[in-house]
Amino acid sequence: MNEVESKRIIGKLQRKYPKKEGWAVQQREGKDKKKPDFLVERRNSENKLERVVVDAKPMKRISEKDV
């Protein structure tokens, strides 16, 4: 995954899980395929950890202008 794709994914995750609600988006580095690409987590009102694991897979999309 390149830097442009990473920034786009982080932007989408930050819109879905906003910082003002306590969410923190962390990009996981490394070539290990067993680790997720992104980790989103926060502490809720009961001080329990809520976590969302995101594994991004590249997909090619064909638009109308390509046909």
Total-model pTM: 0.73
pLDDT greater than 90 at residue 61:
no
Which residues on neighbouring strands pair with residue 49, listed in sequence order?
Answer: 43
In this structure, the strands spanning 49-54 and 24-27 are unpaired
Q: Which residues of 39-59 are buried (b: 16+ CB within 10 A; e: fewer)?
A: bbeeeeeeeeeeeeebebeee
Q: What is the pLDDT of residues 5-55, one digit of tens each?
A: 888 899 999 999 999 999 999 988 766 666 778 999 999 999 999 999 998
